[in-house]
């Protein structure tokens, strides 16, 4: 699918991987709707990227708010064609420890935001794309979700996070099969250790050590590299129903 001139939604698009993706889409000529909880960052980024970029404040778990963002993106001529979901949270706690069992409410919240939130964006975006006219290649839209290599290599204390990201991996193929007859593709990216705001609070030495664990290149991934893959997924019609690891050959150790 040609990115230039199409309407694209980026959930979690105001910071980190989502911000880089919003920037890359705008640079490629897309009309971008940034959807995020952080209104200050979202409004500022939209203003920076120009008149073809807008911002909608929304929690990905809120059906009404996400529907409003998708309605706004769908109002562009040709309808919503690209949906990329980067929204997510993390939490570290063992299944059980000297302090007792894992907090059930916190586990449920990670699942709600990462997995249910991603599905909420996916289902509403697919419903909007379903109404589009097919392009010359028969496509009506592309949805890109964000998992993590923790879905495969979850570390100690990552049970909630790994479960939420594993769910995203698990829904990718059946979702792609569900939408295949309508020409809507669904693909997931599973990034490794990336230089995002989550890691920015760590000391530089700790950040360097994390990078050295990666076989090649031995450094933290750059958000722009995630964005580059997201755009290639949009552009390449044979990428469908797959989860792509973006991790420099990293396989996470137990801790």
Q: Is residue 76, in this structure, part of any structural domain at all? A: yes
CA 34 – CA 249 distance, rounded (Å): 31
Q: Is residue 187, in this structure, part of any structural domain at all? A: yes
Cα-to-chain-centroid distance, residue 122: 10
Q: Is residue 2, in this structure, part of any structural domain at all? A: no
- Which helix (H) or strand (E) segment is 63 a member of? helix 63-74
pTM of the predicted model, to two decimals? 0.96
Q: Is residue 251, in this structure, part of any structural domain at all? A: no
161 included as an active-site residue: yes
Which of 55, 107, 119, 161 is the catalytic position?
Answer: 161
Q: Is residue 26, in this structure, part of any structural domain at all? A: yes
* CATH number, position 146: 3.40.50.720
Domain count for the chain, please give it.
Answer: 1
CA 212 – CA 220 distance, rounded (Å): 8
Q: Is residue 137, in this structure, part of any structural domain at all? A: yes
- Each of the 255 residues of the chain gets a pLDDT tens digit; together they read 999 999 999 999 999 999 999 999 999 999 999 999 999 999 999 999 999 999 999 999 999 999 999 999 999 999 999 999 999 999 999 999 999 999 999 999 999 999 999 999 999 999 999 999 999 999 999 999 999 999 999 999 999 999 999 999 999 999 999 999 999 999 999 999 999 887 776 678 877 888 999 999 999 999 999 999 999 999 999 999 999 999 999 998 898
Q: Is residue 134, in this structure, part of any structural domain at all? A: yes
Q: Is residue 131, in this structure, part of any structural domain at all? A: yes
Q: What residues make up the domain containing 174?
A: 7-244
């Amino acid at each position: 699918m040609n990115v230039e001139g199409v309407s694209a939604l980026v959930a979690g698009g105001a910071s980190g991987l989502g911000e880089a993706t919003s920037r890359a889409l705008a640079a490629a000529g897309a009309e971008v709707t940034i959807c995020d909880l952080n209104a200050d960052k979202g409004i500022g980024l939209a203003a920076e990227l120009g008149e073809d970029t807008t911002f909608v404040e929304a929690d990905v778990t809120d059906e009404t708010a996400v529907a409003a963002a998708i309605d706004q993106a769908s109002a562009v001529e040709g309808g919503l064609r690209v949906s990329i979901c980067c929204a997510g949270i993390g939490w570290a706690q063992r299944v059980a420890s000297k302090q007792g069992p894992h907090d059930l409410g916190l586990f449920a919240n990670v699942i709600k935001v990462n997995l249910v939130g991603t599905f909420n964006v996916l289902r509403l975006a697919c419903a909007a794309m379903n109404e589009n006219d097919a392009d010359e290649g028969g496509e009506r839209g592309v949805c890109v979700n964000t998992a993590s290599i923790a879905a495969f290599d979850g570390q100690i204390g990552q049970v909630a996070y790994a479960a939420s990201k594993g769910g995203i991996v698990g829904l990718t193929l059946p979702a792609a099969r569900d939408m295949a007859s309508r020409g809507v593709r669904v693909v997931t990216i599973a990034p490794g250790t990336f230089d995002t705001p989550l890691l920015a609070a760590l000391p530089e030495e700790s950040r360097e050590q994390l990078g050295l664990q990666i076989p090649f290149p031995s450094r933290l991934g750059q958000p722009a590299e995630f964005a580059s893959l997201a755009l290639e997924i949009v552009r390449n019609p044979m990428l469908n129903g797959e989860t792509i690891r973006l991790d420099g050959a990293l396989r996470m150790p137990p801790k």
